[in-house]
Amino acid sequence: MKRKSNSSSRSAKTFVNKNGYRQFKDSGKYVHRHVEEKKLGRSLKPGEVVHHKDGNPLNNSPNNLKVYRNQSEHMRKEHKKKGKRHITNNNCSATLSGGSASAKHCSG
Ligand SMILES: [Zn+2]
């Protein structure tokens, strides 16, 4: 007799990883990258970085996302100043040198 709303089934397709980012369970793809791709109308290139404007990696609203061509431009424009950091940017250098850059994005 119980009938839950369908909104809950949608969120069950994703989870939050240990770095604080939401990912799809099936593909492992980051939700914020997926949202940005929808917004742009194309696929993101491997080197491209999606920045969270408010620094909250779980705020995947299209308005909160901004794409940069590469990590250095992203860091230079958004994270140069003190106090404007993302919540989780601990292993930034580790993910950058780690090879599979396509799915990894260290700081939003
Ligand atoms: Zn950023």
**For the whole model, what pTM was predicted?**
0.67
Name the residue type at position 51. Answer: H
Q: Write out pLDDT tens, residues 40-91.
A: 999 999 999 999 999 999 999 999 999 999 999 999 999 987 555 565 444 4
Q: Write out pLDDT tens, residues 2-43.
A: 665 555 555 479 999 999 999 999 999 999 999 999 999 999
Look at residue 103 in the predicted model and tell me its pLDDT.
41
Instruction: Quote the ligand 1 centre to 36 CA distance (angstroms).
Output: 13
Instruction: Quote the ligand 1 centre to 82 CA distance (angstroms).
Output: 13
What are the domain boundaries of the chain? 31-86
Look at residue 93 in the predicted model and tell me its pLDDT.
40
Instruction: Quote the ligand 1 centre to 87 CA distance (angstroms).
Output: 10
Instruction: Quote the ligand 1 centre to 16 CA distance (angstroms).
Output: 18
Neighbours of 101 (CB within 10 A): 17
Contact 57, 20 (CB under 8 A): yes
Enclosing H/E stretch for 15: strand 14-16
